[in-house]
Amino acid sequence: MPDITAVAGKVAGIISLAAFIPYILAILRGETKPNRATWVIWAVVGFMTGASYYFSGANHTIWVPVSYIIGPVVVSALSIKYGVGGWTRFDRCCLLGAGMSMALWLVFSSPLVALLINLFIDFMGVLPTIRKAYRDPESEDRIAWALFFTGNIANLLAVERWTFAIAVYPIYMFIGSGLITAFIVFRQNSKANT
């Protein structure tokens, strides 16, 4: 009998990676305008988070972080032409923080330190998209975010050991993607009903 956490982790990774397909198509159709800073930060921080999460002991839950490296690299490249927003001092600080997390990882020999720093930086990077999803929910793709949220729900089922180091990433991603999805769905519905 297959290990349910292993299956859930692979399913979560597939769903999370597949979520980028409608998002990318919506960008190319001009229906979604990704925030440039958010997606570049997510690409850089995604790599650092994935690496530090893996070295913190993640096993079955690693497939979502892998998809969140691949997808953001593609979306950040597309955001150069199709995106909105510029580079603020805050955005540059987030990227600098990602680099500093690598140095701190090496100094403290702790991937958990790097993981927590990168989750904080990711949170800072997601704030512009949360604000945009709230203010202009039509600028984000509903199907893509529903898939991101579904993938993160499946990733919670993939947690093989409920330790802080393993559970913090899936819980954070569940909350973040859930908040964006809720704003997109409920704000689009409320605007459609008015």
Backbone angles phi, psi at 35, to 5 degrees: -75, 120
Closest CA to 49 of 107, 97, 109: 97
How much is the mean pLDDT over the chain?
88
Least confident of 56-60, 61-65, 173-177: 56-60
Percent of the chain surpassing pLDDT 90: 47
| Confidence class for position 36, pLDDT limits 50, 70, 90 | confident
Could you read off the pLDDT of 108-139 as tens digits, one per residue? Answer: 888 898 889 888 888 877 887 888 889 889 88
pLDDT at 140: 83
Least confident of 72-86, 103-117, 158-172: 103-117
- Residue 2, classed as helix, strand or coil, is coil
Least confident of 14-28, 59-73, 77-91, 167-181: 77-91
| Confidence class for position 176, pLDDT limits 50, 70, 90 | very high
Q: 0.85 exceeded by the pTM?
A: no
Number of Cβ atoms within 10 Å of the Cβ of 125: 28
| Confidence class for position 103, pLDDT limits 50, 70, 90 | confident
Q: Higher pLDDT residue, 177 or 120?
A: 177
Give the whole-angstrom CA distance, residue 87 versus residue 71. 21
Number of Cβ atoms within 10 Å of the Cβ of 43: 22
Under 8 Å CB-to-CB from 132, ≥6 apart: which residues?
Answer: 35, 84, 139, 140
pLDDT at 5: 92
